[in-house]
Amino acid sequence: MAFYVVQFLTGLASAASLFLVASGLSIIFGVTRIVNFAHGAFYMIGAYIAFTLTERLSGTFGFWGGIVMAALAVAVIGVIVEMVLLRRIYHAPELFQLLATFGLTLMVEDLVVLIWGPDDLVGRRAPGFRGAIDFFGQHIPSYDLFLIALSPVVLGVLWLLFQRTRWGVLVRAATQDRDMVAALGVNQKWLFTSVFAVGVFLAAVGGALQIPRDAVHHAMDLRIIVEVFVVVVIGGLGSIIGAFVAAVLVSELNAFGILIFPKISIILVFLVMAAVLIVRPWGLFGKPEAPARKTPGLTVNPWRPLTSNERLAALAALIVAATLPLFAGNYALTVGSEIAIFVIFAVSLHFLMSVGGLASFGHAAYFGLGAYGVAFLAKMAGLPMIVCLLLGPLLGCMGAAVFGFFAVQLSGVYFAMLTLAFAQIVWSIAFQWVSVTGGDNGILGVWPEKWAASPSNFYWLSLGVAALVTIALRAMVFSPFGYALRGTRDSALRSEAVGINVKRMQWTAFVIAGTTAGIGGALFAYLKGSVFPDNLGISLSVDALVMVLLGGVETVSGGVIGAIVYKALNIWLISQTDLSKLVLGGFIVLIVVVFPKGIVGMLEMLAQRRGKASPPGSPLLAKPIESAE
Amino acid sequence: MKLTVQDLNSHYGPAHILFDIGFEVGEGEVVALLGRNGAGKSTTFRSIVGLVAQRTGRIMFEGRDVSARPTHEIVRDGLGYVPEERRIFTDLTVEENLEVGRQPKRPNAPHWTRDKLFALFPNLGEMKNRPGGRMSGGEQQMLTIARTLMGNPSLVLLDEPSEGLSPKIVEQMVEAILTMKKEGVSIVVSEQNLHFARLISDRAYIIERGRICFGGTMAELDARPDIRDAHLSL
């Protein structure tokens, strides 16, 4: 019994940091509508700076002072980020903000290694809380008890701040209607900045308080951000009480899941999250949201099929690409194959996002399922390569059919979060079901047959499939199905009114995109000769998002260009510099700020400007179009 | 002149909505902006307070051109705006809604306190702690006006204050607007309802398809039934 109590208390102690970080994220999202991916990075910087300060400053005062000073320093960094970067993109679509903050995260990951080195740093114990308390023969670190007491205090302080101060009232008002707050004479800019500072401060405190419990390392950010996303989604985005309850729930699930269901401990929280989202899409304590801001601007630049000249140009580009094996070496061909495969992956997500208006945060799940499908068929059933390539993607198709059915019941941020949760479930299965998937060791030895084994042949295969997939999806955009799907994207209500079954359209699009991603994954398995859980991990999902946004989500061919540029740049940077994340992150941020329409969007705009004077103002950055009166 | 609008043109994306709008409001005057649904009344107001980003023209408020300034600065200078959709903060209580609107005292405008506003709108005083989302339409309309008055404006743009209200509440609204006028607040009120406008206004402009097509006193408008019938649905 005592053991369970101690386990429960350990869970509560872990909940403290999680709650601090999650409440910060929730507050920021509530007002600015930015899903701040960089929140984990601020948490990590908080831990690093606190480590340095607590090492330098001695005594009790030095320790606690160091923690507070670290959090304040990070809040200042947050303010600078807000003023320099985020202010420029508040009116951009949600995903751009996510992309920009993801770019920041990448940069921070390299920066902390540059400053503090790659090794884990073990910090000081907290003065006054060094010992442990004996509880029926079990030890409870007294620092844990301190953390357990801290969270309700923070909750209370935040509650007072939001309920009893003018600032809190303004923040709550802005959470609901930012423009109206401005129309009552409140300077939103500073309100946003202050909210961001408070949110980042909370994240940094959460990080700094981890020092006595855990080593500081440069992968802390991703680990916490996923858990924090889960917490805010379960609790309800924008709700602080919700963040508190969900942080406790998630931490206890982690603490007891290991004991009760050791086989599925990682999945457990994601299962709970998926269940909550399906039953109560806005979270336990959240409020149903008004329809999300639409991505405007498509009316200005309507899509059209390629003209015959453009078709010739595309064909010429394909032919040029096909001549690569004539002059390039094996390494270049392998890189070329990888890029072609990622084109398949990116166009599949691009189809879902730009045509269907559904931004999936877990698209790698279907890519990875395709890869595992091939691995199972090839290794266990011993089927020939062609059959594997044809049947393997069906695993992605089935995954998309099951998950997509639930996912399309939601929309906007919640859709994104649910897809993320499903992807994590699939990842956890691959990771934990060692007897079937090999777990972390993956499945090795998935090599192509002789006819496709040479780099040039495999390159041609990948290129051919990529071209076919791209053409097929493009044709679909301009088919009746594509028109209907675009209808559901632009106005679900009006589509229903003209007799389109919105959910079924979206589900179909989801399955198509998942299957296509599976095709990419199937080829990827043969390219690498192996399959690992990483093939369905979050970072791959984020890669896909970056590719799509980089190319331009409002364009038809953005996915192709985005994949080529991103993947080529990625591979080239890794070979050129140790600071590839820093450069890549900086590049992403730059793209978002300077070319918010993506590469293809920018080119289209330039071409248009040359043709005629551009319409007044950037449609993307304009406020959402409202009915004129 | 309290407020002078000249050559105001506004766009939503590629759509041109307002064409060379011009009108004037004198000190302490109540001016009606009349027009049908979709004529451009709300867009005119939104353009004046800077909520429509794509606008050109001159907007002189108390002798200064405010057309290039952000919304919150225009409002802080004493130009209050009451939107048509009311846009009450539904999660906030009546008192908190008023708090959002609170601005410092202004020398050239009446000073409104909570108590003064609760006297003006007695219903609100009885539900100080009720969330805005659990109020009737009429109560919300009163709250949205009270909220703007908390900013001590010297001029208020009132967008269709009588829309969707019961006759009894409309009466109260007329009283409130006349009180505001007596206190010295200049008012521009947009309306489709000519009867309502007649009860409160000194002068009127008619807007049709984004253009001003009439300006004059209420008596002058009454002398031109042709204009009235052509541009206003009664």
DSSP state letters, A82-121:
HHHTGGGTTTS-HHHHHHHHHHHHHHHHHHHHHHH-SS-B
pLDDT of residue A301: 56
Is the distance from CB of A266 to CB of A230 less than 8 angstroms? no
Question: Residue A174 and residue A104: Cα distance in Å, rounded?
Answer: 25
Contacts of residue A7, Cβ cutoff 8 Å, sequence gap at least 6: A255, A256, A259
The answer to whether B103 contacts A299, with C-beta atoms less than 8 Å apart, is no
Q: Which residues of A touch B147 (CB under 8 A)?
A: 184
Nearest to A625 among B13, B84, B148 (CB): B13
What is this structure's pTM?
0.84
Is the distance from CB of A546 to CB of A102 less than 8 angstroms? yes
pLDDT of residue B233: 67
For residue A437, what are the β-bridge partners? none
pLDDT of residue A617: 37
When scoring B81, B89, B144, B154 by the number of chain A Cβ atoms within 10 A, the one with the most, hence best to mutate, is B89
Q: How far is CA A148 from the centre of its chain?
A: 30
Phi, psi of B19 (to 5 degrees): -120, 110
> Mean pLDDT of successive 10-residue segments in chain A (629 residues)?
87 93 92 88 97 90 93 97 90 78 90 94 86 83 92 95 94 89 92 96 96 90 84 87 94 88 76 83 78 44 78 90 89 93 95 90 94 91 89 94 89 80 86 85 87 90 95 92 90 89 94 96 93 88 86 82 89 83 85 79 77 42 34
For residue B191, what are the β-bridge partners? B34
Q: Which residues in A have their CB inside 8 Å of a CB on B? A: 166, 169-170, 172-173, 175-177, 179-188, 287, 296, 299-300, 615-617, 619, 622-623, 625-626, 628-629
Collapse the DSSP code of A141 into the 3-class scheme (helix H, G, I; strand E, B; otherwise coil) and give the result: strand
Q: What average pLDDT score do residues B77-81 get?
A: 95
B107-116: pLDDT as tens digits: 989 999 999 9
pLDDT of residue A298: 43
Inform me whether the C-beta atom of residue B130 falls under 8 Å from chain A C-beta atoms: no
Q: What is the token pair recorded at A56? A: 């330098």
Contacts of residue B198, Cβ cutoff 8 Å, sequence gap at least 6: B218
Q: What is the token pair recorded at B110? A: 């009446």
Helix (H) or strand (E) holding A303: none
Question: Residue A125 and residue A143: Cα distance in Å, rounded?
Answer: 9
DSSP state letters, A547-588:
HHHHH-TTSSSHHHHHHHHHHHHHHHHHHH-TTHHHHHHHHH
Contacts of residue A70, Cβ cutoff 8 Å, sequence gap at least 6: A46, A49, A50, A52, A53, A204, A208
Is the distance from CB of A68 to CB of A387 less than 8 angstroms? no
Is the distance from CB of A452 to CB of A463 less than 8 angstroms? no
Q: How far apart are the first and last CA of chain B?
A: 31
pLDDT of residue B212: 94
Nearest to A184 among B11, B70, B151 (CB): B151
DSSP state letters, B77-118:
TTEEEE-TT----TTSBHHHHHHHH-----TTS----HHHHH
A539-565: pLDDT as tens digits: 898 889 888 888 887 777 888 988 999
Question: Residue A225 and residue A222: Cα distance in Å, rounded?
Answer: 5
The answer to whether A169 contacts B99, with C-beta atoms less than 8 Å apart, is yes
Collapse the DSSP code of B65 into the 3-class scheme (helix H, G, I; strand E, B; otherwise coil) and give the result: strand
The answer to whether A622 contacts B13, with C-beta atoms less than 8 Å apart, is yes
pLDDT of residue A299: 42
pLDDT of residue A628: 33
B37-61: pLDDT as tens digits: 889 999 999 999 999 888 899 999 9
The overall average pLDDT reported for chain B is 92
Q: Give the residue from chain A lying closest to B90, CA to CA.
A: A176
HEC profile of A27-71? HHHHHHCCCCCCHHHHHHHHHHHHHHHHHHCCHHHHHHHHHHHHH
Collapse the DSSP code of A77 into the 3-class scheme (helix H, G, I; strand E, B; otherwise coil) and give the result: helix
pLDDT of residue B45: 96
Question: Residue A392 and residue A387: Cα distance in Å, rounded?
Answer: 8
pLDDT of residue A300: 43
Q: Give the residue from chain A lying closest to B92, CA to CA.
A: A173
Is the distance from CB of B146 to CB of B172 less than 8 angstroms? no
